[in-house]
Structures are given as structure tokens and as C-alpha cells.
């Protein structure tokens, strides 16, 4: 479940030129954090690691439709239309860190890098400022969650930021190939994440796919350790059951151990997660149940687009489309369980 290819972002063509804008406030004596830091296809801001608010003004002389991604292929702003001659303002908050993607991956490029996408991108202005009082959503997980470096692989955590408004950012510390055992044991992972948690931050934990040889007692203890570690820092733990594998029975259901993440020792990972959540009074996002219902409703053929079956014969990892849909399920659960205010998310 580990992917090491480094993605190469495809060049995009803007149909309208960029217009110079007044200089923004300098950050630590550096160049103004505005449109002067952009080309026709991308922006680079020479900022240190931290959390930043980004305000974009979209639109041009013709109809436009612009999406914004950044860092390690994170979706930061969904495609947004602007009629000809009009301007549309949107804002989001982004986590800048090193490594910029998977914690055990390459460092990436220093600073904040944004890429302009969409069917007809047009950027009229942009401002980047240090975020104040931003809430972080930390993600602890595996390759189905992480910021995957190479297309077509995409984790649902990679798509989650586009659903959040300014003031809430995603710090995705999920890493390919990790189990509860390895995540706790690797100093680049939990030992790095825990000190970053501040009071009130959410920490979503989805680890199961790689606990193939973890016995039930150890798995339960590891989840309890993560919960206790989040609470020790004043954070709010949220346990997330794993997304299903697309592994159908002859009757069109996913009622089998492969699909529902029961390991070779008979450990029913979703069931243990539910049990720990109840015993520890931890909010639960039952992504296993949500994704099972969706995959079964789409059927054998329709569900292929959610995963990388057509590209890789892969029934575990999600496509960009699948990751986006699954991130939407997480967004809905965050709101439904009052973990984030409804006004903090984008809908539709």
C-alpha cells in the first residue's frame, strides 16, 4: 500500500492574463505575498512552515472556472465559476510543512506552492497572510487517507481541504503502509504529530488496512494510546473506521472479511474501532458503513470509478473521484456530529 512515485504537475493554460495588484504586507521582510508571486499557471510564496490564510479573487474578461490545488496535490478550492467581467472572492486556510506530503516522504519544495486548475482558470488577485486562531484537523492514517504523491492515487484526506472554509485547515500526517503499530513506533509519525496538537484541534484516526498481523488486544491498546495522546494535548480525538475494499460477493454485497477489513487473525477492525469509541466516549465516523452502502448501491460496474480498478486493477486505493466523494462523506459526518460548525464547511 505504499507509493513512492513523485507527481509531476501538468502545466495549465490561462485564458486571461494576470493583473498586477497592490503589494500585500511583507512577511518577515520577504517579498509581498500577492499576485507578483504568481505566473500564469501557479504561485509560489517563500514562507516558513506554518498555517496561512489565502484569499483569491477569480475571474477575467471571459467566463472562467478555476480550481486551486497546492503543496502535495491537495485540493484546496473546488472549481469555482465567474461570469465574464465579474470577480468572485474565495478564501481558505492551508497548512505548510516539511515534508509537505507524507511524513516519511521527500521534503518537497520549501514555501507554499499553489497550482491553478479548472476548465478555464483565471486569477485576478491573491493574498497570503499568516493565519490567526485557525483550527487544525490532523489526520492520522494510511495510504487511503494520505497526500498521495503521484496521480492517479489519491487519499481522501488529500481532497478534504476543499470542503473547508477559511479558519480550518487540514494537517494530513497520514502515511502509506502504516499500521497502528508502525505509526506509534516511527518517530517521524506519532512522536512528531502529538506535540503539534493544540487545545481544541481535531485528530481523525483511520488506521486498519495494514494491521494485517496485529492481534485484537494490541490493536485495541494502540487505538487507546492514540486517543489518550490526543487528549493529553487538549485535542479532540475522532475515530474513523476504514474505507471498504471493493470486493464483491456473488450476491452484489460486500459482506466478506476482505471488503470489511477483517484481518488474517480474525480481528474485525471496524468492530474494534466502534467498541473503543464507545468505551472511551470518542466521536466515531463510521466510514466503513458509509462507504459500504455507497459501493453496494453503485454495484460492481458503477463502483469501479471510485477506486483504481480501471487503471491498476486496484480495489483498495481510490481515484481522485473516489477520494473526493469519500472526503465529502467525512465532511458530512463532521457537521452531523457537531465536530465543526456548519458554517466552516463548503457544501454542494
Query: For each of the chain's 348 residues, which pLDDT tens digit applies?
Result: 433 332 323 333 333 333 333 333 334 445 559 999 999 889 999 999 999 999 999 999 999 999 999 999 999 999 999 999 999 999 999 999 999 999 999 999 999 999 999 999 999 999 999 999 899 999 999 999 999 999 999 999 999 999 999 999 999 999 999 999 999 999 999 999 999 999 999 999 999 999 999 999 999 999 999 999 999 999 999 999 999 999 999 999 999 999 999 999 999 999 999 999 999 999 999 999 999 999 999 999 999 999 999 999 999 999 999 999 999 999 999 999 999 999 999 986
Per-residue burial over 277-311, b = 16 or more CB atoms within 10 Å of its CB, e = otherwise = beeeebbbbbbbebbbebbbeeeeeebbebbbbee
Provide the grid cell at 229: 495522546
Q: How many residues can be counted in the chain?
A: 348
Burial environment of residue 271 by CB neighbours within 10 A (0 to 12, 13 to 18, 19 or more): middle
The residues, ordered by sequence, that sit 6+ positions from 157 with a Cβ below 8 Å of its Cβ are: 139, 141, 145, 146, 147, 170, 172, 174, 327
Taking the whole predicted model, whether its pTM rises above 0.85 is answered as yes
Helix/strand/coil for 58: strand
Helix/strand/coil for 11: coil
Helices 216-232 and 269-280, interaxial angle, to 10°? 40
Amino acid at each position: 500500500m505504499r507509493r513512492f512515485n513523485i507527481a509531476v504537475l501538468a502545466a495549465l493554460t490561462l485564458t486571461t492574463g494576470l493583473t498586477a495588484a497592490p503589494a500585500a504586507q511583507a512577511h518577515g521582510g520577504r517579498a509581498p505575498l500577492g499576485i507578483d508571486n504568481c505566473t500564469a499557471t501557479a504561485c509560489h510564496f517563500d514562507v516558513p512552515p506554518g498555517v496561512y490564510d489565502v484569499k483569491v479573487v477569480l475571474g477575467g474578461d471571459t467566463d472562467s472556472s478555476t480550481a486551486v490545488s497546492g503543496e502535495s496535490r491537495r485540493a484546496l478550492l473546488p472549481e469555482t465559476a465567474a461570469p465574464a467581467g465579474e470577480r468572485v472572492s474565495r478564501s481558505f486556510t492551508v497548512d505548510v510543512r516539511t515534508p509537505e506530503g507524507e511524513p516519511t516522504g521527500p521534503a518537497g519544495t520549501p514555501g507554499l506552492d499553489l497550482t491553478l486548475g479548472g476548465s478555464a482558470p483565471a486569477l485576478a488577485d491573491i493574498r497570503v497572510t499568516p493565519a490567526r486562531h485557525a483550527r487544525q484537523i490532523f489526520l492520522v492514517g494510511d495510504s487511503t487517507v494520505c497526500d498521495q504523491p503521484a496521480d492517479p492515487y489519491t487519499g481522501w484526506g488529500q481532497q478534504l481541504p476543499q470542503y473547508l472554509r477559511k479558519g480550518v485547515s487540514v494537517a494530513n500526517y497520514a502515511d502509506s503502509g502504516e499500521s497502528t503499530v508502525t505509526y506509534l513506533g516511527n518517530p517521524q509519525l506519532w512522536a512528531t504529530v502529538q506535540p503539534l496538537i493544540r487545545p481544541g484541534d481535531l485528530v481523525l484516526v483511520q488506521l486498519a488496512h495494514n494491521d494485517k498481523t496485529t492481534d485484537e488486544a494490541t490493536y485495541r491498546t494502540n487505538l487507546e494510546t492514540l486517543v489518550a495522546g490526543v487528549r493529553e494535548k487538549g485535542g479532540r480525538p475522532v475515530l474513523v473506521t476504514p474505507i471498504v475494499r471493493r470486493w464483491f460477493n456473488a450476491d452484489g454485497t460486500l459482506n466478506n472479511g476482505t471488503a470489511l477489513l477483517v484481518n488474517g487473525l480474525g480481528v474485525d477492525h471496524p468492530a474494534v474501532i466502534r467498541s473503543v469509541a464507545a468505551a472511551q466516549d470518542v466521536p466515531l465516523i463510521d466510514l466503513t458503513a458509509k462507504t459500504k452502502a455507497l459501493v453496494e448501491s453503485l454495484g460492481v460496474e458503477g463502483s469501479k470509478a471510485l477506486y483504481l480498478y480501471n487503471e491498476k486493477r486496484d480495489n483498495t486505493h481510490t481515484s481522485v473521484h473516489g477520494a473526493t466523494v469519500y472526503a465529502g462523506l467525512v465532511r458530512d459526518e463532521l457537521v452531523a456530529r457537531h465536530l465543526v460548525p456548519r458554517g466552516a464547511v463548503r457544501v454542494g
